[in-house]
Amino acid sequence: MRHSLPLAPQFYVTAPQPCPYLSGRMERKLFTALQGDTAEKLNDSLSKQGFRRSQNVLYRPSCSDCSACLSARIDVRQFEPTKSQRRTLKRNDTLHRRASSPWATEDQYALFRRYLDARHADGGMADMDIFEFAAMIEETPIRSRVVEYTHGEDGPLKAVCLTDVLDDGVSMVYSFYEPDLQKRSLGTWMILDHIAIAREAGLPYVYLGYWVPGSSKMGYKAQFGALEVYRRGRWEKVTDTTDYEDERHPLTTDPIAEQVANISLPDSRG
């Protein structure tokens, strides 16, 4: 009798570097390649375990003395917008959604540059040229979409999100928007629209990336109801954000070998 063996990707760890979210700390990532015929299955499986995709790599924070970065998702079935979020929806009701295959354009890159220069001029992507931008958008071995938002059906481009389609939701890989429209809360609005996208597709979750308690850059994610985070091997509903302040303690982090051993891999059967 033949048995199907588990997929066996190799996991690696990056060298420590300054954390972009918490001052005075160092970050480290656990990562593996995403390629071949099993890429989509592996991405679906590891996304449920707190991993994120960047081009053809899946990664998860694995810092030596901190576990503050928590993978976050919204339970679409339980989500109800706040009064402020309903105002944001109304404020942007003239925007038109257009989803297409992952293909980079000059209009996207021009908007991306305006966004970075205004909001993240000192960030790790500040020097990204148009070729690197195209690679970020187009190099995907799984089912991905570029979701564009224009003012009216044929108006100028106002916001963009690179979105992965998982077997249990949609994952907002990276989004950017017109920085001059700050009062319209386009970042929040895109999340709200992706909740609508997930509902239209019958998918239960919207994956948001990492929420970092104590980081002003990531604090906005805690404003969404029905938020869940992946902590200590399982997803749990966030009821009180102060419950996660101890995740910055060094004893919250397991050794790398133990982390890898606890990763659940899909089998090779179709």
Task: Write out pLDDT tens, residues 88-133.
Answer: 999 999 999 999 999 999 999 999 999 999 887 677 787 899 999 9
pLDDT band at 251 (very low <50, low <70, confident <90, very high): low
| 2, pLDDT greater than 50 | no
* Structure-model confidence comparison of residues 266 and 7, the more confident one: 266
Question: Is residue 71 within 8 Å of 60, Cβ to Cβ?
Answer: yes
Instruction: Give the pLDDT confidence score for residue 22 in this predicted structure.
Output: 86
- 181 within domain boundaries: yes
- Whether 56 is covered by a domain: the verdict is no
User: What pLDDT was estimated at residue 257?
Assistant: 84
Handedness of CA 173, 177, 183, 184 (dihedral sign): negative
User: What's the whole-number mean pLDDT along residues 206-222?
Assistant: 86
Q: Which domain holds residue 172?
A: 74-229
* pLDDT the model gives residue 249: 66
Which string of b and e fits 84-97 if b means at least 16 CB within 10 Å?
ebeebbeebeebeb
Q: Does residue 136 sit within a domain? A: yes
Q: Quote the number of domains for the chain.
A: 1
Q: What residue type is assigned to position 100 of the chain?
A: S
Mean residue pLDDT of the chain comes to 90
Q: How far apart are CA 188 and CA 218, in angstroms?
A: 12
Q: What is the pTM of this model?
A: 0.91
Question: Residue 177: inside a domain, yes or no?
Answer: yes
**Minimum mean pLDDT among 4-8, 9-13, 57-61, 178-182: which range?**
4-8
Q: What is the C-alpha separation between 153 and 98, in angstroms, rounded?
A: 9
Is 198 part of a structural domain of the chain? yes
Q: Would you place residue 1 in the very low, low, confident or very high pLDDT band (cuts 50, 70, 90)? A: very low
CA nearest to 235, candidates 168, 187, 172, 157: 168
**190 and 161 Cβ atoms separated by less than 8 Å:** yes
Lowest-confidence range among 9-18, 102-111, 180-189, 211-220? Answer: 211-220
pLDDT band, very low/low/confident/very high, at 268 (cuts 50, 70, 90): low
The CATH code of the domain that includes 201 is 3.40.630.30
Domain membership of residue 78 (yes or no) is yes
Q: What are phi and psi of 16, to 5 degrees?
A: -60, 145
Task: Decide which of 127 and 161 is more confident.
Answer: 161
**Integer Cα distance of 154 and 230 in angstroms:** 40
Mean pLDDT confidence for 65-91: 95
In a domain, 141, yes or no: yes
